[in-house]
């Protein structure tokens, strides 16, 4: 009962996507009805010819035969046209549904927070919005069509055959419920196997992605054989699941073939006895055999569709799992655009713990960052420096207290305006696959070429960009692999220059660079920070000596604050960090 309810729930979730194209669907089903009529007429024609030939041969003239042939020809032409529409627009409708579902899934993924991506493999997500939804195309087209055709054929066959012999028809159709029970039982196992298969292919995709993205590390440690072994384990697991799936499918198909034979056996034995006793005529016997053939062909189509059906249901289920993932960070009702006048940031009794592991990182933090102030954050690993900065653009929401920007609670303003007012430069720069120009322009979609070049000059990147093979049109490779760390960092800074936000967060932006690149990028960052409220997370303390104020965060919260000179004079945590006695983050 739970399985059935679950299936109904999935179909109910799927229906709005199909309903959008209900006109195409209705005409597709109308065409399906036409093709069904054409199939159902042939046994009637054969019964008429046989009975007439046996009882009144004189009435079976050449003209009558030709008229029947003409009727059947017209029906076949109609069948061809209807079948063409079903094969064409029916599938196109499925493509539309798949496209709509993929668009909604991607849009929902864009709204999900850091917690979701921290706990979900990208390979799994990719499998859900690509491979899983491929199967929905066939499902959207064939599911209503096949069941509609089967319902018509079974109902019409039952009515027509009852006119010849109710007893024989009831004996014949008694096989159908038994067949349905057996098929349903095996089908549930098939569906469970398909779900395991989808999960494992996601794991396999994640393994491949992880290995290929880390191929430089693999080669550096000469661990190609290790990667092959890990891949082989996941590949073998996928093979085992597919083997089990095909065993269930084989059992399903074998059971239907046995029931096919049982139905033919009923017609041969029971029909033959009815024919001997004179309870049905020869024409009726021919019609019975043809209708049984039609029924068996219909059942076989349903059997063949069963694999697509289970794949489609699995695809819909995994799509729903994405759509059911909670969006943790949302615009509150009545949220207004953020108005940044000065750039003052205030933390009032702020506490935070991560929602997935409930690890409390910040406890009752009170802090005010003055407009235009350059505030540096230092401290041991796990002190909450990055977490504190991530709370400002609401990458996570505070679990206690509130954060204000110019007196406006960040939870009361729109996310778009909040994040539009904050520029972030991170240690691990991400460049999209594309050109240098496209990556800088990402900071301001629709920016002109002149604006992009001006931002690159401000970031100190223009010279090295123009020295590249194709200048601003140079392809940077996946994740920017064709550029050095310093070059990628300056492109990232140019991107923020183009965005021109009043608030800036620098998350260890130079810690991974060599000394020469650090000096170049440091100058760009100094230029970028002019006139902006800036929070800098520092690993190398030499880079924040001239900050207006330095905060030392530790397990107990803000342990110290002051200028570089003041903190050294206190000879506390900062002093020990400066002298290398404590490992900085």
| 383 in Cβ contact with 560 (< 8 Å) | no
Dig out the tokens for 403 from the structure: 């954060």
Q: Count Cα atoms within 13 angstroms, Cβ side, for 30.
A: 9
Q: Which of 162-171, 417-426, 524-533 has the highest mean pLDDT?
A: 417-426
pLDDT the model gives residue 3? 43
pLDDT (tens digit per residue) in 405-448: 999 999 999 999 998 898 888 877 888 888 889 989 988 888 89
pLDDT (tens digit per residue) in 455-465: 888 888 888 88
Q: Which residue has the higher pLDDT, 581 or 10?
A: 10
Fold for 12-323, please state it. ABC transporter transmembrane region fold (1.20.1560)
| 396 in Cβ contact with 352 (< 8 Å) | yes
Does 179 have pLDDT greater than 80? no
pLDDT the model gives residue 34? 87
Dig out the tokens for 124 from the structure: 């799994």
pLDDT the model gives residue 410? 92
Closest CA to 551 of 523, 572, 581: 572
Rounded to an integer, the average pLDDT of 366-374 is 91
pLDDT (tens digit per residue) in 127-153: 778 777 877 887 887 788 888 888 888
CATH 3.30.930.10 fits 330-421+501-585, yes or no: no
Order of strands, sheet of 503-507, starting from the edge strand that comes earlier in the sequence: 422-426, 503-507, 533-537, 374-378, 549-554, 557-562
Does 219 have pLDDT greater than 60? yes
**In terms of DSSP bridges, do strands 345-353 and 360-369 run parallel, antiparallel, or are they unpaired?**
antiparallel
Question: Residue 559 phi/psi, 5° resolution?
Answer: -90, -35
pLDDT (tens digit per residue) in 507-524: 876 665 666 666 777 777
Q: Rounded CA gap, 93 and 96, in Å?
A: 5
Q: Count Cα atoms within 13 angstroms, Cβ side, for 473.
A: 1
Q: How confident is the model at residue 5 (pLDDT cuts 50, 70, 90)?
A: very low
What region, left, alpha or beta, does residue 482 occupy, with left being phi > 0 and alpha being psi -120 to 50 degrees? Answer: alpha
Element (H, E) at 551: strand 549-554
Q: How confident is the model at residue 307 (pLDDT cuts 50, 70, 90)?
A: low
pLDDT the model gives residue 370? 92
For residue 293, count other CB atoms closer than 10 A to its CB.
16
Rounded to an integer, the average pLDDT of 189-205 is 78
Lowest-confidence range among 8-17, 100-109, 252-261, 360-369? 252-261
Does 583 have pLDDT greater than 60? no
Q: Among residues of the chain, what percentage have pLDDT more than 70?
A: 92
Element (H, E) at 374: strand 374-378
Does 323 have pLDDT greater than 80? yes
Q: What is the pTM of this model?
A: 0.72
What lies within 8 Å, CB to CB, of 334 at 6+ separation is: 412
Q: How confident is the model at residue 312 (pLDDT cuts 50, 70, 90)?
A: confident
Closest CA to 106 of 326, 393, 319: 319
Q: Where, residue-wise, is CATH 1.20.1560.10 in the chain?
A: 12-323
Does 380 have pLDDT greater than 50? yes
- In degrees, rounded to 5, the angle at the alpha carbon of residue 17 between the alpha carbons of residues 26 and 125 is 145
| 77 in Cβ contact with 328 (< 8 Å) | no
**In terms of DSSP bridges, do strands 557-562 and 422-426 run parallel, antiparallel, or are they unpaired?**
unpaired
Q: Where, residue-wise, is CATH 3.40.50.300 in the chain?
A: 330-421+501-585
Order of strands, sheet of 360-369, starting from the edge strand that comes earlier in the sequence: 360-369, 345-353, 400-405, 408-409
Does 369 have pLDDT greater than 70? yes
pLDDT the model gives residue 582? 41
pLDDT the model gives residue 585? 40
Mean pLDDT of the chain: 82
Question: Residue 219 phi/psi, 5° resolution?
Answer: -70, -35
| 133 in Cβ contact with 102 (< 8 Å) | yes
pLDDT the model gives residue 202? 75
């Amino acid at each position: 009962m739970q399985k059935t309810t679950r299936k109904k729930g999935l179909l109910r979730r799927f229906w709005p996507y199909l309903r959008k194209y209900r006109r195409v669907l209705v005409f597709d089903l109308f065409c399906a009805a036409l093709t069904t009529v054409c199939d159902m007429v042939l046994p009637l024609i054969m019964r008429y010819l046989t009975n007439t030939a046996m009882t009144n041969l004189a009435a079976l003239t050449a003209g009558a035969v030709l008229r029947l042939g003409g009727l059947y020809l017209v029906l076949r032409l109609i069948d061809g046209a209807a079948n063409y529409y079903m094969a064409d627009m029916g599938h196109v409708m499925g493509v539309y549904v798949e496209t709509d579902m993929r668009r909604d899934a991607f849009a929902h993924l864009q709204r999900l927070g850091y917690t979701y991506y921290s706990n979900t493999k990208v390979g799994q997500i990719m499998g859900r919005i690509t491979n899983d939804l491929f199967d929905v195309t066939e499902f959207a087209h064939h599911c209503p069509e096949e069941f509609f055709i089967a319902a018509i054929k079974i109902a019409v066959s039952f009515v027509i055959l009852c006119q010849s012999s109710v007893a024989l028809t009831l004996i014949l159709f008694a096989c159908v419920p038994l067949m349905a029970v057996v098929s349903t039982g095996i089908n549930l196992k098939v569906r469970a196997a398909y779900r395991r298969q989808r999960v494992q292919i996601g794991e396999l995709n994640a393994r491949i992605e992880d290995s290929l993205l880390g191929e430089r590390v693999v080669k550096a440690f000469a661990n190609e054989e290790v990667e092959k072994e890990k891949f082989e384990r996941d590949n073998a697991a996928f093979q085992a699941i597919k083997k089990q799936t095909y065993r269930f499918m084989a059992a399903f198909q074998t059971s239907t073939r046995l029931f096919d034979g049982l139905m033919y056996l009923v017609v041969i034995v029971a029909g033959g006895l009815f024919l001997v006793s004179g309870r049905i005529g020869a024409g009726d016997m021919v019609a019975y055999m043809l209708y049984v053939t039609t029924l068996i062909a219909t059942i076989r189509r349903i059997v063949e569709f069963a694999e697509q059906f289970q794949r489609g249901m699995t695809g819909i289920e995994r799509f729903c799992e994405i759509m059911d993932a909670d969006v943790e960070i949302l615009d509150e009702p009545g949220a207004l655009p953020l108005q940044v006048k000065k750039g003052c940031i205030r933390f009032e009794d702020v506490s935070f713990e991560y929602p997935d592991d409930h690890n409390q990182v910040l406890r009752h933090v009170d802090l005010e960052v003055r407009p235009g102030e350059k505030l540096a954050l230092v401290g041991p690993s796990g002190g909450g420096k990055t977490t504190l900065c991530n709370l400002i653009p609401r990458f996570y929401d505070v679990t206690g207290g509130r954060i204000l920007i110019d007196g406006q609670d960040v939870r009361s303003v729109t996310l778009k305006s909040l994040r539009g007012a904050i520029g972030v430069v991170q240690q691990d720069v991400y460049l999209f696959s594309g050109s240098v120009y496209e990556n800088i322009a990402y900071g301001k979609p629709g920016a002109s070429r002149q604006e992009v070049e001006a931002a690159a000059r401000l970031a100190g990147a223009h010279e090295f960009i123009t020295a590249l093979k194709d200048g601003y049109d140079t392809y940077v490779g996946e994740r920017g692999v064709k550029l050095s760390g310093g070059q990628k960092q300056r492109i990232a800074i140019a991107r923020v220059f183009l965005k021109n936000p009043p608030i800036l967060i620098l998350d260890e932006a130079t810690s991974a660079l060599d000394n020469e690149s650090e000096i170049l990028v440091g100058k760009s960052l100094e230029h970028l920070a002019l006139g902006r409220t800036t929070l800098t997370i520092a690993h190398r303390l030499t880079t924040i000596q001239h900050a207006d104020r330095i905060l030392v965060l530790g397990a107990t919260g803000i342990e110290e604050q002051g200028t570089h000179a003041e903190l050294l004079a206190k000879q506390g945590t900062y002093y020990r960090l400066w002298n290398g006695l404590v490992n900085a983050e």
